[in-house]
Amino acid sequence: MKILIVEDEPTTADAIRSGLQAEGCVPEVARTGTEGLARLQAGIFDAVVLDWMLPGLDGIAILRALKHITPKPPVLLLTAKDAVEDRVTGLDSGADDYLVKPFAFAELLARLRALTRRAGGEESLLLQSGDLVIDLKTRRVSRDGNAIALTPREYDLLVYLMRHTGQVVTRGMIARDVWRETNRSTPLDNVIDVHLARLRRKVDEGRDKRLIHTIRGVGFLCREKPESDT
């Protein structure tokens, strides 16, 4: 299982990560709410361990944003708040389960397994824009029923664009959320443009309706009929 841990307390985050690794999971750690949401928008996770109190965006804000992400991974919310009204707030905001600190790792693991078992019973999850379809379970990309072969980077880039269908994404957003590089001495603009050009050829070349558009001076847009594009 690939699991995202969004926790700013280093001891807690490291303990959960070590425990999950020992169980054969593939954990990633985000130290702020902003970083956690960016990773969720850019990647696919089987589950999320989410702290309520975080720098930047708090856990409730992330839960609300997750309602617009497909597929939405199951979320185990961690918090020191144990009042009934707090639990109701967390669950009503989109958490799938709730664990009060301090907790035993064995209980956290059991709850994660239960969440992923329930999520695994769902039908195949799809992203779709016009006749372009991504099966997120199999990573199969097709347009009008015809398979499109993409590199891993092209696939991640297309998933990111389609998760933001109808929204303009900037090169800075792509560098941060897809490449996950924000501290380079030189921008990634040229690299991103090359990958976008290759992706556009594979997705749109020879078709009447283009789905990937460049918005001059702003960024890129995935939509069948944008208001203005090049």
pLDDT score recorded for residue 5: 97
pLDDT (mean) for 216-223: 89
Q: In terms of pTM, does the model score above 0.75?
A: no
Asked if residue 144 has pLDDT above 50, the reply is yes
Lowest mean pLDDT across 88-92, 180-184, 185-189, 212-216:
180-184
**Count of Cβ atoms closer than 10 Å to residue 152 Cβ:** 8
DSSP the chain: -EEEEE---HHHHHHHHHHHHHTT-EEEEESSHHHHHHHHHHS--SEEEEESS-SSS-HHHHHHHHTTSSSPPPEEEEES--SHHHHHHHHHTT-SEEEESS--HHHHHHHHHHHHHHHHTSPPPEEEETTEEEETTTTEEEETTEE----HHHHHHHHHHHHTTTS-B-HHHHIIIII-----SS-SHHHHHHHHHHHHHHHHTT-SS--EEEETTTEEEE-SS-SS--
Helix axes 84-92, 59-66, angle to 10 degrees: 30
pLDDT at position 71:
75
**pLDDT of the residue at 184:** 64
- CA 94 – CA 111 distance, rounded (Å): 16
CB 50, CB 35: distance < 8 Å = no
Are the C-beta atoms of 184 and 126 separated by less than 8 Å? Answer: no
Between 91-105, 119-133, 194-208, the lowest mean confidence (pLDDT) is in 119-133
Mean per-residue pLDDT for 217-222? Answer: 90
Task: Find the radius of gyration of the CA atoms of the chain.
Answer: 19
